[in-house]
């Protein structure tokens, strides 16, 4: 659909601090081929006081404030260390947090269970241990854990999971029911082992159900691996959206995906894996992948989905035009052929737009210029273009209805102040931020503010009474059908705080 638009900037791919709860239910990962990831961080040495740096696992973590980190675990010196997503620590010699693991034996993997809860797997003891890590945690003693939080794995010789559990390498968590722990599920991987008797066995993937007495169920023997996929050994595992992502550490070191329901492997693989890779984790939305290595720099690599999967106009970058094209598809307007179903749930809808705007572009609704925040420039754009037909995102149409209207105005109001310094410094957003801005900007100039705000008041009033006649603050204030009086509250704040 043709639109008359202002010029739009083309922005590079970036990520904002984003609360991810619920995104794992949208099957986002199924939309992507593993080849769509590209490396964005390559850290030769993670800052740590551990000399040998035998990293054996990694887990993505998001705290209650929405800040994102990774936790890396080592198996030479049993310890967990916390880093920013780019691999940076507190300084060049240490991590953001160190947690000593006392009475643990050869910790090989770690997984985030949600909240502040984590689980680790030990190759030496063959146990899965569950515990809590807060910002003040410095050590965890296995002997102090409740018996219900230490899972002793059981298997049979035919499963190649012997009693001493030789070869256990990684684990991942699936929350069967958020209201109870009885339905918790872990998937674990066992590497190929050699030797005699009980220690010999092939690699495998196992399912551990706490509700079933922690008994393991053999999941796959890798007999259905497609041609060209080289899985010679297993180092770690990560669950997301019905699929298991498996890290192979020998032969062609790579990440492969296994669909649990279909009991099938994808033919695509991810091969940009450093030597001796040991740990694998992904963000819940699948937008980033994290890999750590065992005493073989680079210690850490961070990968991100490339943006061409949503570059619908093929101009080499993500911008407002791509949002408009996606909205055209959502509303059934004419469009060039493309795969618009970014979440691969079988429907092109608002969920796909959310993923493009919030995750891939890393910004907020109301950010017309895609500069990562919602500010006065965005409000001015909506104000100046109010009522514009054939409008697009860059014009201030944030809901895709091709008109800049009261809904778009309220989007800017509700998100005003989001992003930029506000996100980093904990400043208010929404109506409070908007009020503060105008009080400062129009101090001593209440009449100028009244002139600025008049079209917005008229727009809101007309939305409610349909008269189309309200043009002044006085008229609007006298209109009883106006349900939303934010602008009047702002005006009163200015008039009461400055001398006109």
Residue-wise pLDDT for 97-138, tens only, equals 999 999 999 999 999 999 999 999 998 888 899 999 999 999
pLDDT (average), residues 447-470: 63
pLDDT (average), residues 212-238: 73
Q: What percentage of the chain has pLDDT greater than the value 70?
A: 71
pLDDT (average), residues 334-362: 82
Mean pLDDT, rounded, of the chain = 77
Whether 20 is in a domain gets the answer no
First to last CA, the chain: 48
**Highest mean pLDDT pick, 225-234, 360-369, 434-443, 472-481:** 360-369
Whether 429 is in a domain gets the answer no
Residue 185 bridge partners (DSSP): 174, 209
Between 324 and 230, the higher pLDDT residue = 324
Whether 358 is in a domain gets the answer no
| pLDDT one-digit tens code per residue, 408-458 | 988 998 899 888 665 445 577 887 888 888 878 887 777 787 788 777 776
Whether 47 is in a domain gets the answer yes
Cα-based distances in Å from 246 to 39, 108, 109, 204: 18, 15, 13, 11
Whether 396 is in a domain gets the answer no
Whole-prediction pTM: 0.67
Decide the pairing of beta strands 204-209 and 55-62: unpaired
The boundaries of the domain holding residue 286 are: 32-305
Place of tokens 């500069």: 371
Q: How many CB atoms lie within 10 A of CB 120?
A: 27
Residue 211 belongs to domain with CATH number: 2.120.10
Q: How many CB atoms lie within 10 A of CB 259?
A: 14
**pLDDT bucket at 353, cuts 50 / 70 / 90:** very high
**Highest mean pLDDT pick, 127-141, 202-216, 291-305, 329-343:** 127-141
Whether 111 is in a domain gets the answer yes
Cβ–Cβ < 8 Å for 419, 373: yes
Tally of domains within the chain: 1
pLDDT (average), residues 136-144: 97
Q: Which of 467, 457, 464 is nearest to 488 (CA)?
A: 457
Burial of residue 136 (CB within 10 Å: 0-12, 13-18, 19+) is exposed
Whether 448 is in a domain gets the answer no
Between 132 and 64, the higher pLDDT residue = 132
Residues belonging to the chain: 500
Whether 441 is in a domain gets the answer no
């Amino acid at each position: 659909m043709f639109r008359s638009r202002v010029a739009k900037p083309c922005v590079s791919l970036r990520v904002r601090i984003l609360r991810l709860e619920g995104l794992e239910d949208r099957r986002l990962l199924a939309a992507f081929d593993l080849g769509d990831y590209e490396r964005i961080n390559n850290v030769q040495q993670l800052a740590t006081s551990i000399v040998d740096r035998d990293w054996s696992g990694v887990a993505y973590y998001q705290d209650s404030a929405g800040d994102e980190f990774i936790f890396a675990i080592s198996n030479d010196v049993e310890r967990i260390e916390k880093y920013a997503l780019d691999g940076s620590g507190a300084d060049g010699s240490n991590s953001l947090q160190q947690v000593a693991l006392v009475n643990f034996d050869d910790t090989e993997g770690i997984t985030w269970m949600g909240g502040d809860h984590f689980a680790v797997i030990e190759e030496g003891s063959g146990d899965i241990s569950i515990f809590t890590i807060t910002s003040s945690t410095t050590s965890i003693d296995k002997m102090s854990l409740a018996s219900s939080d230490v899972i002793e794995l059981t298997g049979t010789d035919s499963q190649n999971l012997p009693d001493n559990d030789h070869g256990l390498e990684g684990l991942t968590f699936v929350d069967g029911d958020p209201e109870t722990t009885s339905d918790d599920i872990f998937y674990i991987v066992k590497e190929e082992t050699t030797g005699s008797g009980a220690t010999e066995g092939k690699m495998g993937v196992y399912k551990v159900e706490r509700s079933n007495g922690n008994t393991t169920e053999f999941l796959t023997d890798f007999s259905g691996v497609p041609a060209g996929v080289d899985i010679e050994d297993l180092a770690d595992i990560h669950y997301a959206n019905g699929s298991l992502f498996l890290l192979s550490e020998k032969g062609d070191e790579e990440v492969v995906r296994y669909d649990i329901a279909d009991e099938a492997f994808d033919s695509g693989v991810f091969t940009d894996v450093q030597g001796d890779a040991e740990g694998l984790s992904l963000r819940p939305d699948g937008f980033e992948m994290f890999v750590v290595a065992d005493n073989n720099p680079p210690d850490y690599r961070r990968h991100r989905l490339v943006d061409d999967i949503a570059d619908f106009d093929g101009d080499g970058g993500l911008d407002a035009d791509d949002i408009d094209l996606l909205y055209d598809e959502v509303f059934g307007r004419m469009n060039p052929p493309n795969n618009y179903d970014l979440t691969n749930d079988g429907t092109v809808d608002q969920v796909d737009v959310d993923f493009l705007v919030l995750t891939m572009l890393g910004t907020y609704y109301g950010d017309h210029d895609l500069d990562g925040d919602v500010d006065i420039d965005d409000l001015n754009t909506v104000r100046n273009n109010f009522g514009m037909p054939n409008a697009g995102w860059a014009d201030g149409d944030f809901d895709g209805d091709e008109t800049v209207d009261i809904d778009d105005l309220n989007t800017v109001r509700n998100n005003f102040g989001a992003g930029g310094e506000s996100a980093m410094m904990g400043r208010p957003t929404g109506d409070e931020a908007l009020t503060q801005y105008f009080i400062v900007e129009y101090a001593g100039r209440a009449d100028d503010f009244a002139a600025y705000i008049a079209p917005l008041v008229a727009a809101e009033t007309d939305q409610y009474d349909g008269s189309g006649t309200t043009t002044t603050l006085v008229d609007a204030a006298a209109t009883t059908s106006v349900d939303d009086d934010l602008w009047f509250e702002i005006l009163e704040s200015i008039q009461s705080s400055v001398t006109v």
